Amino acid sequence: MPALQQLSTISLEQYEALPEDIRAEVYDGQIRYMASPSQIHQSILLELSTLLNSYVKNGKGDCKVFPAPFDVKLSDHPLTIVQPDIMIVCDREKLDENRCNGAPDFIIEIVSPGNPSDDYIRKAYYYQHYGVREYWIVDPRRRMVTVNYFEGNLINVAYSFDAAVKVNIYEDLYINFAEIAGLLNI
């Protein structure tokens, strides 16, 4: 593993050869290792994934919901691979056995206390740049949800955990964060 940290860039083959227990993303060919998520992170991920998957399964088109870890290859040159906490992919042509090749329609990232700038700055830039339609940042410590609906030019719209937040890629889907916060005691 130390040899990979010394490389100036990583190839897709090198990324795919990483051990399965290694969590990593690649930005412009540079690998970034990720820590394991916390209990609250995983609890929020489970609740949101369940809500989104139930909605999608009840006749909302050909979209699929994927919780992490599932790779998204945003670019081949330079290699850019991310693992969003939750994503919805509506163009099934982008999916193969290993990953989503291209931008998902909807992404949620749950902020980890150790690297909030990754979600608020780095990932927001990459997701907008590569064509994600809608990107949410769920911040349990601040009890805030930041919505970036790039397709509709709504950027950095903040909601408290007391709000029901509209998923803009759908006409009739709202997520009630007060219910989630109550279930999880946050």
Span 80-104, pLDDT tens digits: 999 999 999 999 999 999 999 999 9
User: Is 68:86 a contact under the CB 8 Å cutoff?
Assistant: yes
Per residue in 58-75, pLDDT (tens digit) is: 977 789 999 999 999 999
Rounded Cα distance between 26 and 15, Å, is: 8
- Beta pairing partners, 81: 26, 73
**Residue pLDDT, tens place only, 130-185:** 999 999 999 999 999 999 999 999 999 999 999 999 999 999 999 999 999 988 88
Q: What is the pLDDT of residue 122?
A: 95
Instruction: Output the pLDDT for position 74.
Output: 98
